[in-house]
Chains A and B, each alone.
Chain A
Amino acid sequence: MHDDDQNDELIGRVADELRIPVALDPGFDARVMAAVRRATPGRWRRALRWWTEPRPLRVSPLTGLACAAGVAALLVVGAVSLRPSLPSPIKGAVAVGAAVPAEPGSEMVQFVLVAPQASSVAVVGDFNDWDPSRTPLRAEAAGGVWSANVSLRSGQHQYAFVVDGKEWRPDPAAPRAVTDDFGSPNSVIVVGGKST
């Protein structure tokens, strides 16, 4: 009981002291405001910090997948729309790097030969005076695939490949000419009748 009286008295004294107004020195407010102004960056600095400061981003797995799919779709659409339009080949596989359109009355034909050991390949035919220097084939990146794109007039054409300047080869992917006047067969290709 005695202790309780002492505690009440102590609490009363502390409360009385706390009720006395605190006297601050006159420059306190100015110092506080100056410190606040120093700590607050300008508008541009805040904007820069907003962009550069790392912060955790919380998304659900479903939202993350949807975002990834959207980015992938944009990349695919962009790649397709930026690709140069290629003339459709009528022989061989796919037109690669053929950005030159065919002349009127002609079609762009891609000649392709797989010759991994060759150091040079040319196509000769009735469209280039059978001149091996006129239409060299270009080696693709790998696999010994050689190709060239040639604009040919409508009709039938005969041709052959010349490998390393001396070896004559017919096109393994095309029919052989019925006649062989000079002991090395030609291949034939029909150009024309392209449905548009």
Chain B
Amino acid sequence: MRHLLAIAILIAVAPALAAQDPRLEARLDPTTRAAVAALVDSARAAGLPTEPIIDKALEGTTKRASSDRIIAAIHTLSVDLQAARNALGPTAPDGDVIAGASAIRAGAHPEILDQIKGVRGKAGISVPLAVFTDLVARGVPADTASTVILHLAEGGASDADYAGLERSVARDIGAGAPPGASAAIRARVSTGEVGAAATGGPPPGVPATPKDPKGKPASRP
């Protein structure tokens, strides 16, 4: 009901809105288009990147979501973008804000964004935050992923190191390792706390010797 009221108001003021994105004109119905255009304008006025909002609306309309659902999704996204902007500051690049919003949505505390930014400096935070979101998507608890990402930043990790961590964790999980344990140990390997030899053998959390159903080590030929 609240969304319907908002839509009615937005339709009334739609002609006064700034020029709309041609993609919205082409693919959204008039009701949804007016609501999205209003939110895009608000985001622009607040110094937020608008491309993710338009993109989310296009995703919703391609998936044939209802107007209500599209508006709710882009509203939630706007809130996350605002939280990321607040955490990273007004001069942060749009790419960092977008990555930050995704990380917040995935469970990162806004403070961690600022901490990583402070440690990484000019190296940027979009790749570390993207890897954070990816780790959470793979099943690593958000708190563990936050600790891992920050730990790597403090160890001077490069973007390539983050990408390597992501690949290693994905490989470990594929081999049956618990996601959280894999991420924690791989991060320690990346920063040199654990010797390179630790990367050999089974992935973290997987027994070195296969066990039979009774729990005894299986005999090998």
The one of A175, A182, A188, A193 that contacts B127, using a Cβ cutoff of 8 Å:
A193
Q: Can you list, as one digit per residue, whether each of B96-108 has a CB less than 8 Å from chain A (1) or not (0)?
A: 0011001001110
Within 8 A of B (CB), among A181-196: 181-184, 186, 188, 190-195
Please name all residues of chain B whose beta carbon is closer than 8 Å to the beta carbon of A194 when the two chains form the complex: 160, 163
CB distance from B131 to the nearest CB of A (A): 6
Q: A130 near B130 (CB under 8 angstroms)?
A: no
Sort chain A's interface into a size bin: 20 to 34
Please name all residues of chain B whose beta carbon is closer than 8 Å to the beta carbon of A193 when the two chains form the complex: 127, 131, 158-164
Main secondary structure of the interface of B (DSSP, over half): helix
Q: A183 near B63 (CB under 8 angstroms)?
A: yes
The one of B63, B72, B134 that contacts A168, using a Cβ cutoff of 8 Å:
B63
Q: B134 near A188 (CB under 8 angstroms)?
A: yes
Interface size on B, residues (CB 8 A): 42
Task: Report Cα–Cα, A42/B126, bound state, in Å.
Answer: 80
Interface residue? A117 (CB, 8 A)? no
Task: Report Cα–Cα, A158/B58, bound state, in Å.
Answer: 13
List A residues at the B interface (Cβ < 8 Å).
Answer: 124, 126, 129-132, 154-156, 158, 168, 175-179, 181-184, 186, 188, 190-195
List B residues at the A interface (Cβ < 8 Å).
Answer: 23, 52, 55-56, 58-63, 65, 69-70, 72-73, 76, 95, 98-99, 102, 105-107, 126-127, 129-131, 133-134, 136-138, 158-164, 166, 170
Q: What 16 new A-B contacts, CB under 8 Å, besides A126-B52, A181-B65?
A: A129-B23, A131-B62, A154-B126, A154-B159, A168-B63, A175-B170, A178-B133, A181-B56, A182-B63, A182-B65, A182-B69, A182-B73, A183-B63, A191-B130, A192-B126, A195-B164
